[in-house]
Structure 1
Amino acid sequence: MIKIFNTLTREKEPFKPIHENEVKMYVCGPTVYNYIHIGNARSAVSFDTIRRYLEYRGYNVTYVSNFTDVDDKMIKQAKKEDITVDELANRFIDAFMADTKALNIKPATDNPRATHMIGDIIEFIEALVKKGYAYEVSGNVYFRARHFQHYGELSKQNIEQLENGASQHLTQEEVATKEDPLDFVLWKPQKEDSEIAWDSPFGKGRPGWHIECSVMSTKLLGETFDIHGGGQDLQFPHHENEIAQSEAKTGQKFVNYWMHNGFVTVGNQNEKMSKSAGNFVTVHDLLKQEDATVLRFFMASTQYRRPIHYNDDNMQEARERVQYFKNLSQNIDYRLNDQTESKTNTELKELVETKISDFQTAMDDDFNVQNGLTVLYELMRAINQHLQESTVDKTVLADFKAEFVKIMTVFGVQFEDQSADLSKEVEALIQKRDEARSQKDFQTSDQIRDQLKDMGIVIEDTPQGTRWKRNED
């Protein structure tokens, strides 16, 4: 049984979806005013890995991740570039989709945009005003946080702490308009005629950030759904406010399992990577110099709640691991297609079954990928040793390879069938070289080896015959 650490309860809980074998999942997406850095991408990779594992375990997953396509930063950046907010959003939504595609992140079932749901947002706010949870002042609409009795439970903060913190960050306008320092904005008035805005019963303006996710998630997934994910920094105030306004409106539990991923850290002091700190590297730039599969595996190979430290050593380890996976896949393919007979190996068959079960047990424990991969590496070593034998169990190898491909897909690693696109020219050269070696014509054999090397093909002579692979350097 899968267990999930629920941020709300601070406990691992057995996962019981609302509908059997179906999972409804919402993950907070980016504010699209710039390229995403790998700290942003970590959240996308973490929850894509979780989604893929749930699918590997047989669940049908409806996965929704939004775009915040209007906010203060976007308005400021669009004005700076003398373009519309919509033009800015479209540019960086396209960039996000390109970057996540390169990282082999599955497309969401739906990517709602805040600006496409303005009517729904206004209706949601009106319902909160009608219930007395929200109030209008000078074109602003605020949510009465203190009226929601569970406010602060997700982030484990009490009302007094929150009030003191909020009081220190209020603007003069907020002091003049808010009933309570804790209250948060649902609707903002237009500040100048050129600023993007929509007509509403509260005056011309735009939605606040928190209300957008409540509306988009409940609109697409229902008043109560299974999983809500995002970075640790979203626990307060964003997710705390989502719970308050959603449950105040519907009277229903908003989310059953809250999940939050850890940060990407950099530097000797393990500082959180962020745009505000200026210590970030964008995925857009990094993909120009780094293999996308390596970058994906670097982020996917750490349990989602733990921090990841970005440095050269950890990236090099990810490169070596990915190459190890590829080599193993190629070696299995080669032995499955060589001319030797298959020999039953009951011990190996049982080991594969045991280790696959152990992998699932590790992953079922709050998606503990480190423990899962440790088990998998042990099995891979045993498979590699078996591949060196003169006779192998091809049935076991084929069964392992099929399961191995499924598991690697969870981590976003996919394998190419190298033989499928091997050109006739290369096939002919390999055959010609084999003939030259059999005739002890080593000069011709070496010449063909060098020719293939120039073509990016590396030849390996094994006891089972000649094999090849593409040069990854």
Structure 2
Amino acid sequence: MHAWPASEVPALPGKGRDLRIHDTATGGRITLDPGPVARIYVCGITPYDATHMGHAATYNAFDLVQRVWLDTKRQVHYVQNVTDVDDPLLERAVRDGEDWTELAERETALFREDMTALRMLPPKHYIGAVEAIPGIVPLVERLRDAGAAYELDGDVYFFVECDPHFGAVSSLDAEAMRLLSAERGGDPERPGKKNPLDPMLWMAAREGEPSWDGGSLGRGRPGWHIECVAIALDHLGMSFDIQGGGSDLAFPHHEMGASHAQVLTGEYPFAHAYVHAGMVALNGEKMSKSKGNLVFVSALRRDDVDPAAIRLALLAHHYRSDWEWTDQVLADAVERLARWRAAVSRPDGLPADALVEEVRAALADDLDAPAALAAVDRWAELQSSGGGSDEGAPGLVSRTVDALLGVAL
């Protein structure tokens, strides 16, 4: 599966700062020192509907991570998956009377278009669950053969108690885990499981649903968590720098994935930092496909909203915060974009070297995009009153906003 084209990232004078970021597992900020190649895995979409603002906010956060690392003169090895076979996708295809593969391909293509328009830097590896199946089957077999997985009516489950670190990612108690498992795709009430929290690794073939050859597992399809583990281990190995996604993935998805990988390899941790973006609401409720309360990136683009304004609307909120999308949020972003473009259109201006360092410092401090925007706002306001004579300043500001914030002025 191919990703989307990369926009050019301008080079800035000097060097950026190491990223200090909030780690869900420890509950505090840690400073990451990845070495010359930074490694990040971000969980991708289940392509049964278009990209909404919740998606866009999540991928915007991890795009900033990439940009901070690139500014430190590191390479970035970024991997993202596409869950192109799963219950919600199959259910939507049945509802709409559409072939599930055509639905997945169409929505994945639209997602690529949205990411390109928003200037999100693409992953180095963009992998679908279906194409990963040949690598998933041996991992499930290894877990089963090691006694860390068991069969139940043909399905294969992971036994969470085999990982001594289980629970370290989300730090939730058993009851909270059980409730979230039921809410987020698990089946804690299924009779016969060793532990109600045990997640499915391999689902035996169901009538009328797609299935693949699973070798000794029989025909079926992979569970959600093992999909990402197989892709991450294949392309990044253990102990990569950041495992990322929305805050609703901390449990069960990232918790289970970490346990799968740690039992498979005997190593700890799966990732050095677990980083989670907040939720975006509309009309008082979290945007979600199940609720249908969605604002789509593609719909805004069709209405001729500048993608740079959409991106500024996302950047106006700290990535870990939960916030609500409103018409005013977008109007404020459109107005900010106009002010910034007017400021950099002048032939000269106030020196901007200090601004570059302000933006760098803000983003290195747990991706504080609102502080970075405020710094550019101050420069633009002073610029509007004139008085500067630095001919290179407007260009430097434009390149800084592009390189670090992904906004083309």
- Match of residue 127, structure 1, among 142, 145, 162: 142
Structure (1 or 2) with the greater helix fraction: 1
- Match of residue 294, structure 2, among 280, 283, 289: 280
Is 1:197 paired with 2:220? no
In the TM superposition, what whole-angstrom CA distance separates every residue of 1:89-145 from its partner, at most 9, and x where no partner exists? 111111111121122212221210010011110011111112211111221000001
> What is the one-letter code of the residue matched to 2:379?
L
Find the counterpart in structure 2 of residue 255 from structure 1: 271
- Match of residue 16, structure 1, among 33, 42, 46: 33
Find the counterpart in structure 2 of residue 219 from structure 1: 234
In the TM superposition, what whole-angstrom CA distance separates every residue of 1:24-49 from its partner, at most 9, and x where no partner exists? 11111100111121112211122112
1:141–1:187: 8 Å Cα contact kept in structure 2?
Answer: yes
In the TM superposition, what are the counterparts of 1:315-354 in structure 2 within 5 Å? 315-332=330-347, 335=348, 349=351, 352-354=352-354
Is 1:68 paired with 2:83? yes
Pairwise CA distance, 1:163: 4.9
Query: Structure 2 length normalisation: TM-score?
Result: 0.88
Change (3 A) 1:323 1:400: closer
Find the counterpart in structure 1 of residue 408 from structure 2: 414
* Rounded Cα–Cα distance in structure 2 between residues aligned with 1:278 and 1:125: 35
Find the counterpart in structure 2 of residue 239 from structure 1: 254
* Rounded Cα–Cα distance in structure 2 between residues aligned with 1:401 and 1:153: 46
Greater RCO (Cα-Cα under 8 Å, separation 6 or more): 2
Pairwise CA distance, 1:4: 1.0
- Match of residue 404, structure 1, among 359, 380, 398: 398
* Rounded Cα–Cα distance in structure 1 between residues aligned with 2:26 and 2:346: 46
In the TM superposition, what are the counterparts of 1:293-332 in structure 2 within 5 Å? 293-332=308-347
2:20–2:32: 8 Å Cα contact kept in structure 1?
Answer: yes
SS at 2:124 equivalent: coil
In the TM superposition, what whole-angstrom CA distance separates every residue of 1:435-459 from its partner, at most 9, and x where no partner exists? xxxxxxxxxxxxxxxxxxxxxxxxx
- Match of residue 100, structure 1, among 115, 122, 134: 115
Q: Please, which moves more after superposition, 279-288 or 168-177?
A: 168-177
- Match of residue 3, structure 1, among 4, 20, 33: 20
- Match of residue 126, structure 2, among 111, 115, 132: 111
> What is the one-letter code of the residue matched to 1:217?
A
> What is the one-letter code of the residue matched to 1:230?
G
SS at 1:66 equivalent: strand
SS at 2:221 equivalent: strand
Change (3 A) 1:6 1:102: same
SS at 1:175 equivalent: coil
Identity over the aligned pairs, expressed in percent? 31
Is 1:229 paired with 2:250? no
Pairwise CA distance, 1:284: 1.9
In the TM superposition, what whole-angstrom CA distance separates every residue of 1:162-181 from its partner, at most 9, and x where no partner exists? 35776899999963331221
* Rounded Cα–Cα distance in structure 1 between residues aligned with 2:292 and 2:258: 31
SS at 2:281 equivalent: strand
> What is the one-letter code of the residue matched to 1:197?
S
* Rounded Cα–Cα distance in structure 2 between residues aligned with 1:140 and 1:228: 27
Query: Structure 1 length normalisation: TM-score?
Result: 0.77
Change (3 A) 1:74 1:49: same
Find the counterpart in structure 1 of residue 13 from structure 2: none
Q: Please, which moves more after superposition, 120-129 or 294-303?
A: 294-303
CA-based RMSD: 2.4
Find the counterpart in structure 1 of residue 367 from structure 2: 367
- Match of residue 176, structure 1, among 191, 196, 213: 191
Pairwise CA distance, 1:283: 1.8
Find the counterpart in structure 2 of residue 431 from structure 1: none
2:258–2:270: 8 Å Cα contact kept in structure 1?
Answer: yes
Find the counterpart in structure 1 of residue 5 from structure 2: none
Pairwise CA distance, 1:282: 1.8
Pairwise CA distance, 1:248: 0.8
* Rounded Cα–Cα distance in structure 1 between residues aligned with 2:21 and 2:190: 41
Is 1:136 paired with 2:151? yes
* Rounded Cα–Cα distance in structure 2 between residues aligned with 1:207 and 1:324: 50
1:36–1:283: 8 Å Cα contact kept in structure 2?
Answer: yes
